[in-house]
């Protein structure tokens, strides 16, 4: 274990022998860090937090801090981070709350760029990208391989569907469906179509992308159909496609409502 002589590591922290801790970093109580994770200079890691292997925690990042919740009274909630994530400089990630899931969870292979914020009780799946200054309020769920652009702000309890793409400087107050491209601020937020480039890069077949595109047109380009009727038609026509089924179920499970506006 390479711990710089100026770093401060709490006696109760459990660091694998292959962890690297840079100058003036602080590792607090009840922190568990896996092999080959690097904590750069001046970063602060608080607990209870469990951080997996081969992660990078950038300079001046604050990881595992107490939730910004007026009802939080110091309860031992938790942050869990998987493997192979990059958490860049000045990022802030907070633990959960007793009134939520009691833990904030980040999966594997995520890229969290400079100055991002992940609030209490968020659930982040694998391979998510958050660009600089993207912000998640509490209880946000982000699906696999979602990409969130710079300066994006997402309202608490929103769900961001897998393989979706949110353009920079967007304000999101409703659920973002999987597989789509979204951009805009609040009432001006628009869904422009299926994220075809992202899906191709992720290895989706032409047939699946074509199915999703057809379902998008049914849901978003059928002004004479109610949403429930659009979903019923999509299930009837393409329900044997797993990705389409996931998209339909995402709409049906929404509690906040799903972004429905489209570009003209």
Over residues 130-174, the pLDDT tens digits come to: 999 999 999 999 999 999 999 999 999 999 999 999 999 999 999
What H or E segment, with its residue span, contains residue 227?
A: helix 227-238
**What's the Cα-to-Cα distance from 196 to each of 143, 179, 199, rounded to whole Å?**
17, 8, 5
- pTM of the predicted structure, to 2 decimals: 0.96
Could you give the CA distance from residue 138 to residue 119 in angstroms, rounded to a whole number? 5
Taking the mean position of all CA atoms in its chain, how far away is CA 99? 20
Pairing state between β 44-45 and 62-65: parallel
For residue 114, what pLDDT is reported?
A: 98
Over residues 4-58, the pLDDT tens digits come to 999 999 999 999 999 999 999 999 999 999 999 999 999 999 999 999 999 999 9
Residue 1 has pLDDT above 80, yes or no: no
Contacts for 185-190: CB closer than 8 Å, 24+ residues apart = 189/259, 189/261, 190/259, 190/261, 190/262, 190/263
Higher per-residue pLDDT: 93 or 262: 93
Contacts of 184 (CB under 8 A, 6+ apart): 167, 170, 171, 190, 261
For residue 151, what pLDDT is reported?
A: 98
Average pLDDT over residues 198-210: 97
For residue 73, what pLDDT is reported?
A: 95
**Residue pair 61/92 in contact by the 8 Å Cβ criterion:** yes
What class has domain 198-253?
mainly alpha
What is the rounded average pLDDT for all residues in the chain? Answer: 97
Fold of 2-194: UDP N-Acetylglucosamine Acyltransferase; domain 1 (2.160.10)
Average pLDDT over residues 65-85: 96
Residue 223 has pLDDT above 90, yes or no: no
Q: List active site positions.
A: 120-121, 138
Residue ranges per structural domain of the chain: 2-194, 198-253
């Amino acid at each position: 274990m390479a711990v710089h002589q100026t770093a401060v590591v709490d006696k109760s922290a459990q660091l694998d022998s292959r962890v690297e801790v840079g100058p003036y970093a602080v590792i607090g109580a009840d922190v568990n860090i896996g092999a080959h994770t690097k904590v750069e200079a001046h970063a602060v890691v608080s607990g209870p937090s469990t951080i997996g292997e081969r992660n990078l925690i950038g300079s001046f990042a604050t990881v595992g801090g107490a939730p910004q919740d007026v009802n939080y009274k110091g309860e031992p909630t938790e942050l869990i981070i998987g493997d192979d994530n990059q958490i860049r400089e000045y990022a802030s990630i907070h633990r959960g709350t007793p009134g939520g899931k009691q833990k904030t969870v980040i999966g594997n292979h995520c890229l969290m760029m400079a100055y991002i914020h992940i609030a209490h009780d968020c659930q982040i799946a694998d391979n998510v990208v958050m660009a600089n200054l993207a912000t998640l309020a509490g209880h946000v769920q982000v699906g696999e391989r979602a990409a969130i652009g710079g300066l994006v702000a997402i309202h608490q309890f929103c769900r961001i569907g897998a393989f979706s793409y949110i353009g920079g400087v967007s304000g999101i107050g409703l659920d973002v469906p999987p597989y789509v491209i979204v951009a805009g601020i609040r009432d001006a937020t628009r869904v422009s179509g299926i994220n075809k480039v992202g899906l191709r890069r992720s290895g989706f077949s032409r047939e699946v992308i074509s199915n999703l595109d057809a379902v998008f047109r049914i849901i978003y380009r059928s002004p004479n159909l109610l949403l429930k009727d659009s979903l019923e038609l999509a299930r009837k026509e393409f329900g044997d496609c797993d990705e389409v089924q996931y998209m339909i179920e995402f709409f049906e499970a929404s509690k906040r409502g799903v972004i429905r506006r489209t570009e003209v």
